[in-house]
């Protein structure tokens, strides 16, 4: 065992580091770089400028073909770049879904001339993509989606509603899965397209989240026309294409969010409990110990994944462990930190709050981590079925035409 | 980055797994459970001949020189097999104490005989209820002779010698080597009869002090042993998850395999998560042990916490998944449940290691 880079990896790491040092500001001190909870026009400009700079220097789309602006490197180099970038403050939040999920799906199913047209612009960040999957009636049960597409000449006409679409209001293009045949069982009647988000008939409304931010959207479709040439995969094969997209979602190992256990240690050193620093209290110490052991366990699980990547292996469903553990841990640490602050833990005024308000911000944003991109329950199903090999749940809608499946009031 | 065992060690692991599934099936474990034998002496002979006991002992002292990663790989398989042999007491504790604190002469005297299986060792620290604590050591060595009572001592009635934690004339704790031939031993009835446990009565027993001593050397032995025990815990937890999964696939209720119910699937997914976190922490411990890394104490406390939690969870949820049949003497679930507790309290239990981990973090974060 060792933690050393290969010669090639070390050279790449050094190159990435010097690029970042020359072009970005290092993270400093304990102040957290809070995840973008909404990207405004100014932030969009910064994101676009940064992506173009990365592309010019050859650090965008490291694993993609050179003809699309990529570098044709193995995935381990993307991991190395991400590790290095994590030490710097860089604009984020605009391209993760497009480059992480939409374009990989395009590369698997779009026509060569479409790839020539769309991929290089996505790599340079000139065009932004979103993913239109979830619906009011199809979240964890994604295949229960109801947005309809009907054939009309060379076009398809889309009517319905998508929801939880990150960045729809900032996007130029989107990938979408819709129902083209309600008379067959749910997985068999879906078809996949990409479309222009500026098409007539698309209306985007931001969702006001419980955290106060407006990052997700509802997207309404009224007689939106999409040419058949923008279909990805065969008619009725939309579910299979969706799986391609979702597999890529799992490869995007989430970075550790704050507050983490080190922030809790820092807090408990100066907040008092029973007349002494809270860290002197054994209940607090036990919590710290268990969360630290979890954090380290995830870190070294990531190292095992990186080792597999480095050997050219592809990480599989076992990667679900990261979000499953991190999302709950974040929520629990946020809540516990606030408990340690006592009543003052409620306060979010910048001049009065502890730890830059990160515990309060995380308390309010962390519920989404346990739901978005596969809920805790779905991730446990994935581990149970695809890692442990337990049977799928028995489904009440199996083999039944979609339009005969019972539905509830919500 | 290469954060995985080498192909050679994976091969060793597979060989060990095959060997133990053949030579240490539950029927062998049950001979100790039912009190027919104190430990599996034939198995002990065979693993000695294969060089397992001396896996991490350098070749100059008669060991196999496989290194600590080799010993870790073997420990995982011993845990998976719930092996009823004094492996941990001898290889992780007694041999390690001599390797880390013994003089050259002591190492030459003991290590070759440990490696070839002719000397069984044990680690006599506890004196009744409580966790490792220098203030709780009352056994005393005066004029080279040890007096005091130690219990429970794992493998104490079968061991030939003990590494004893006792205080010297100046009431400073240290490590001492004692021959157990003439020491009064009482076998203890415990909740894991697959492991021998003893109460040892030292009454002026002649001892020799290990060269480097003090509580620091005791903690050093505990830290290193924690890493090796963690691999046993990971192996045991992995076996529990495999058992539970197999049963959940075969057992039908309400017309379907119980493994298709989310109540069971999510439970086993949680066991998988705990096990993977423990395994990853244990891997880091293997690396720290092999390289004598400066953060070995922190790594040890971390993996001790996650491995103890993981084996406890896996062993109890294995019984739960089995339902009533899992509560019977005939089904093997309880072998793991018992062993999970035995390993979880050997060398300090969860609250002790959580406290130690918090201590180390507090010191580190203050720096």
List, for residues A384-397, the tens digit of each pLDDT value.
Answer: 999 999 999 888 99
Question: Do B45 and B103 sit in the same domain of this protein?
Answer: yes
Strands B161-167 and B121-124: parallel
Q: H or E element: which one contains A336?
A: helix A321-341
Contact (CB<8Å) B355/A285: yes
Q: For residue B126, is pLDDT > 50?
A: yes
Q: Is residue B63 part of a domain?
A: yes
A10 lies within 8 A of chain B by CB: no
Contact (CB<8Å) A388/B276: no
CA distance B240 to B248: 12
In chain B, % of residues over pLDDT 90: 97
Chain A / chain B CB contacts < 8 angstroms? 165
Question: Do B87 and B203 sit in the same domain of this protein?
Answer: no
CB nearest to B272's CB, from A1, A2, A388? A388
CA distance B263 to A135: 27
CB burial of A32-60 (b: ≥16 within 10 Å; e: otherwise) equals beeeebbbeeebbebbbebbebbbeebbb
Phi, psi (degrees; rounded to nearest 5) at A94: -105, -30
> Which CATH number is B244's domain given?
1.20.140.10
How high is the pLDDT of residue A246?
A: 82
Q: Are A54 and A60 in contact (CB under 8 A)?
A: yes
User: Which is higher by pLDDT, B2 or B87?
Assistant: B87
What is the second-level CATH architecture of the domain A129-249? Beta Barrel (2.40)
How high is the pLDDT of residue A380?
A: 97
Which residues in chain B are closer than 8 Å to A312, comparing Cβ atoms? none
B225, with CB counted inside 10 A (0-12, 13-18, 19+), is buried
Q: Are A215 and A166 in contact (CB under 8 A)?
A: yes
Question: Do B230 and B104 sit in the same domain of this protein?
Answer: no
Q: Is residue B11 part of a domain?
A: yes
Q: Which residue has the tokens 């779009």?
A: A110
Domain count of the fold of chain B: 3
CB nearest to B354's CB, from A5, A285, A387? A285
Q: For residue A409, is pLDDT > 90?
A: no
Phi-psi category of A382—alpha, beta or left, where left has phi over 0 and alpha has psi -120 to 50? alpha
Contact (CB<8Å) B256/A390: no
CB nearest to A294's CB, from B4, B277, B287? B277
B263, with CB counted inside 10 A (0-12, 13-18, 19+), is exposed
CA distances from B16 to A108, B50, B72 (A): 43, 10, 12
CA distance A361 to A363: 6
Q: Are A344 and A399 in contact (CB under 8 A)?
A: no
CA distance A257 to B225: 33
Q: For residue A142, is pLDDT > 70?
A: yes
CA distance A157 to A178: 11
Structure tokens at A409: 């009031």
Q: Which residue has the tokens 């799992």?
A: A250
CA distance B221 to B202: 22
Q: For residue A36, is pLDDT > 80?
A: no
Q: In whole numbers, what is the pLDDT of chain B averaged over residues?
A: 97
Structure tokens at B198: 């003893």
Instruction: Determine the 3-state secondary structure of B199 from DSSP.
Output: strand
How high is the pLDDT of residue A193?
A: 98
Q: Name which of B68, B108, B66 is nearest B299 in CA terms.
A: B68
How high is the pLDDT of residue A242?
A: 94
User: Rounded mean pLDDT of B114-128?
Assistant: 97
Confidence bin at A30 (pLDDT 50/70/90): low
CA distance B331 to B326: 6
Contact (CB<8Å) B265/A310: no
Q: Residue A4 gets which letter from DSSP? A: P
How high is the pLDDT of residue A253?
A: 46
Question: Do B310 and B237 sit in the same domain of this protein?
Answer: yes
CA distance B224 to B230: 10
Confidence bin at A249 (pLDDT 50/70/90): low
Residues 6+ apart with CB under 8 A from B223: B296, B297, B300, B301
Q: Residue B168 gets which letter from DSSP? A: -
How high is the pLDDT of residue B39?
A: 97
Q: Is residue B2 part of a domain?
A: no
Helices (H), A342-375: 358-369
Domain edge (last residue) among B150, B180, B213: B213
Structure tokens at B367: 């720096």
Contact (CB<8Å) A324/B259: no
Domain edge (last residue) among B82, B115, B148: B115
Enumerate the CATH 2.40.110.10 domain ranges in chain A, comma separated.
Answer: 129-249
Q: Which residue has the tokens 């819709």?
A: A178
Q: Supply the range of the domain harboring residue B308.
A: 216-366
Q: Name which of B71, B83, B169, B162 is nearest B125 in CA terms.
A: B162
How high is the pLDDT of residue A250?
A: 55
Q: Which neighbouring-strand residues pair with B208?
A: B177
CB burial of A213-252 (b: ≥16 within 10 Å; e: otherwise) equals bebbbbbbbeebbbeeebbbbebebbbebbebbbbbbbbb
Phi-psi category of A355—alpha, beta or left, where left has phi over 0 and alpha has psi -120 to 50? left
Q: H or E element: which one contains A191?
A: strand A190-196
Contact (CB<8Å) A292/B2: no
B246: nearest CA partner in chain A: A390
Q: Which of residues 23-42 of B touch A (CB under 8 A)?
A: none
B277 lies within 8 A of chain A by CB: yes
CA distance A172 to A196: 6
User: Rounded mean pLDDT of A3-28?
Assistant: 93
Enumerate the CATH 1.20.140.10 domain ranges in chain A, comma separated.
Answer: 253-374
Question: Do B166 and B304 sit in the same domain of this protein?
Answer: no
Q: Give the side-chain half-sphere CA count within 13 A for A356.
A: 12
User: Rounded mean pLDDT of A247-253?
Assistant: 59
Q: Is residue B222 part of a domain?
A: yes
CA distance A349 to B73: 53
Contact (CB<8Å) A377/B273: no
CA distances from A49 to A60, A132, B201 (A): 12, 26, 76
Give the mutation candidate from B358, B359, B361 for the A interface (greatest A CB count, under 10 A). Answer: B358
Q: Are B84 and B42 in contact (CB under 8 A)?
A: no
Q: Is residue B73 part of a domain?
A: yes
CB atoms within 10 A of CB A275: 6
Question: Do B154 and B225 sit in the same domain of this protein?
Answer: no
CA B178, B180, B185: angle at the middle one, nearest 5?
A: 130
Phi, psi (degrees; rounded to nearest 5) at B65: 60, 30
Phi, psi (degrees; rounded to nearest 5) at A152: -145, 95
Q: Which residue has the tokens 């709950």?
A: A328
Which residues in chain A are closer than 8 Å to B306, comparing Cβ atoms? 293-294, 296-297
Which residues in chain A are closer than 8 Å to B253, comparing Cβ atoms? none
CA B337 to chain A, closest CA, distance in angstroms equals 21
Q: Is residue B290 part of a domain?
A: yes
Q: For residue A60, is pLDDT > 60?
A: yes
A273 lies within 8 A of chain B by CB: no
Q: Name which of B3, B10, B88 is nearest B47 in CA terms.
A: B88
Helices (H), B153-261: 215-250
pLDDT tens for each residue of A251-281? 554 566 889 999 999 999 999 999 999 999 9
Q: Are A195 and A224 in contact (CB under 8 A)?
A: yes
Q: Are A295 and B284 in contact (CB under 8 A)?
A: no
pLDDT tens for each residue of A167-222? 999 999 999 999 999 999 999 999 999 999 999 999 999 999 998 888 889 999 99
User: A253-374: what CATH class?
Assistant: mainly alpha
User: Rounded mean pLDDT of A311-324?
Assistant: 86
Q: In whole numbers, what is the pLDDT of chain A averaged over residues?
A: 92
pLDDT tens for each residue of A278-301? 999 999 999 999 999 999 999 999
Q: Residue A5 gets which letter from DSSP? A: P
CB atoms within 10 A of CB B38: 18
B329, with CB counted inside 10 A (0-12, 13-18, 19+), is exposed
CA distance A322 to A319: 6
Q: Is residue B52 part of a domain?
A: yes
Contact (CB<8Å) A297/B305: no
**Active-site positions of A?**
249
Q: For residue B338, is pLDDT > 80?
A: yes
User: Rounded mean pLDDT of B267-295?
Assistant: 97
B70 lies within 8 A of chain A by CB: no
> Which CATH number is B153's domain given?
2.40.110.10
CA distances from B114 to B24, B63, B83, B110 (A): 21, 9, 18, 6
Q: Which neighbouring-strand residues pair with B121?
A: B161
CA distance A198 to B296: 57
Contact (CB<8Å) B265/A301: no
Instruction: Determine the 3-state secondary structure of B287 from DSSP.
Output: helix
Question: Do B154 and B264 sit in the same domain of this protein?
Answer: no
| Beta-strand runs (E) in A270-334 | 272-273, 276-277
How high is the pLDDT of residue B305?
A: 98
How high is the pLDDT of residue B97?
A: 98
Structure tokens at B142: 């005066």
How high is the pLDDT of residue B104?
A: 96
B351 lies within 8 A of chain A by CB: yes
Contact (CB<8Å) A383/B5: no
How high is the pLDDT of residue A254?
A: 53
CA B331 to chain A, closest CA, distance in angstroms equals 22
Q: What is the pTM of this model?
A: 0.94
B260 lies within 8 A of chain A by CB: yes
Between the two ends of chain A, the Cα-to-Cα distance in Å is 53
Phi, psi (degrees; rounded to nearest 5) at B89: -60, -40
A270 lies within 8 A of chain B by CB: no
């Amino acid at each position: 065992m060792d933690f050393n880079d290969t010669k090639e990896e070390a050279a790449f790491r050094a190159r990435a580091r010097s690029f970042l040092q020359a072009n970005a500001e290092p993270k400093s001190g304990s102040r957290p770089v809070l995840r973008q909870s909404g990207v405004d026009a100014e932030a969009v400009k910064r994101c676009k400028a940064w992506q173009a700079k990365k592309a010019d220097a050859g650090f965008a789309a490291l694993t993609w073909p050179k003809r699309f602006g990529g570098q044709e490197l193995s995935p381990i180099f993307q991991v190395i770049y991400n590790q290095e970038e994590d030490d710097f403050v860089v604009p984020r939040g605009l391209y993760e879904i497009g480059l992480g999920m939409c374009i990989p799906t395009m590369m698997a199913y779009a026509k060569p001339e479409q790839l020539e047209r769309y991929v290089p612009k996505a790599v340079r960040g000139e065009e932004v993509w979103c993913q239109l999957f979830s619906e009011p009636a199809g979240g964890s049960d994604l295949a229960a989606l109801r947005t309809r597409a009907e054939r009309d000449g060379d076009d398809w006409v889309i009517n319905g509603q998508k929801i939880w679409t990150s960045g729809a209001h900032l996007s130029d293009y989107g990938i979408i899965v819709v129902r083209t045949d309600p008379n067959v069982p749910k997985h068999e009647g879906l078809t996949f397209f990409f479309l222009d988000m500026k098409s007539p008939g698309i209306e985007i409304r931001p969702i006001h989240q419980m955290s106060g931010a407006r990052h997700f959207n509802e997207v309404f479709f009224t007689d939106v026309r999409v040419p058949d040439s923008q279909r990805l995969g065969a008619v009725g094969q939309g579910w299979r294409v969706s799986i391609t997209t979702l597999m890529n979602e799992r490869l995007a190992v989430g970075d550790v969010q704050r507050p983490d256990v080190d922030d809790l240690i820092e807090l408990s050193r100066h907040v008092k409990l029973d007349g002494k620093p809270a860290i002197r209290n054994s209940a607090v110490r036990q919590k710290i110990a268990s969360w630290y052991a979890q954090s380290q366990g995830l870190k070294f699980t990531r190292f095992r994944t990186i080792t597999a990547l480095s050997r050219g292996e592809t990480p599989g469903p076992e990667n679900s462990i990261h979000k499953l553990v991190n999302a709950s841990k974040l929520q629990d640490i946020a809540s516990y930190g606030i408990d340690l602050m006592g009543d003052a833990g409620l306060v979010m005024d910048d001049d009065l709050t502890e730890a830059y308000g990160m515990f309060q911000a995380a308390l309010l944003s962390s519920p989404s981590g346990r739901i978005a991109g596969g809920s805790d329950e779905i991730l446990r199903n994935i581990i149970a079925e695809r890692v442990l090999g337990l049977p799928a749940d028995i489904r009440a809608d199996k083999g039944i035409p979609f339009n005969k499946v019972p539905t509830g009031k919500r | 980055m290469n954060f995985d065992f080498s192909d050679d060690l994976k091969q060793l692991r597979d060989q060990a797994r095959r060997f133990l599934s053949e030579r240490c099936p539950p029927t062998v474990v049950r001979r100790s459970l039912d009190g027919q034998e104190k430990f599996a002496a034939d198995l002990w002979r065979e693993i000695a001949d294969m060089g397992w006991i001396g896996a991490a002992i350098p070749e100059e002292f008669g060991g196999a020189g496989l290194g600590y990663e080799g010993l870790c790989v073997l420990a995982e398989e011993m845990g998976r097999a719930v092996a009823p042999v004094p492996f941990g007491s001898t290889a992780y504790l007694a041999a390690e104490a001599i390797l880390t604190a013994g003089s050259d002469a002591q190492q030459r005297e003991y290590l070759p005989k440990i490696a070839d299986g002719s000397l069984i060792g044990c680690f006599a620290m506890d004196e009744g209820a409580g966790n490792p604590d220098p203030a709780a050591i009352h056994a005393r060595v005066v004029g080279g002779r040890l007096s005091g009572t130690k219990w429970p001592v794992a493998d104490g009635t079968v061991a030939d010698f003990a590494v004893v934690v006792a205080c010297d004339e100046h009431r400073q704790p240290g490590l001492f080597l004692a021959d157990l031939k003439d020491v009064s031993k009482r076998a203890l009835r415990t909740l894991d009869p697959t492991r021998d446990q003893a109460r040892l009565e030292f009454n002026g027993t002649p001892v020799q002090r290990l060269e480097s001593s003090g509580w620091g050397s005791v903690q050093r032995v505990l830290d290193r042993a924690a890493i090796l025990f963690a691999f046993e815990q990971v192996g045991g937890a992995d076996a529990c998850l495999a058992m539970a999964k197999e049963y959940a696939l075969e057992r039908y209720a309400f017309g379907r395999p119980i493994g298709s119910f989310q109540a069971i699937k999510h439970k086993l997914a949680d066991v998988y998560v705990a096990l993977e976190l423990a395994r990853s922490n244990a891997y880091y411990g293997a690396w720290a042990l092999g390289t004598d890394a400066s953060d070995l104490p922190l790594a040890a406390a971390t993996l001790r916490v996650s491995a103890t939690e993981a084996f406890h969870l896996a062993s109890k949820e294995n019984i739960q998944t089995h339902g009533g049949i899992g509560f019977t003497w005939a089904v093997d679930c309880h072998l793991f449940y018992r062993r999970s507790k035995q390993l979880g309290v050997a060398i300090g239990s969860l609250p002790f290691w959580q406290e130690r981990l918090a201590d180390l973090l507090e010191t580190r974060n203050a720096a």
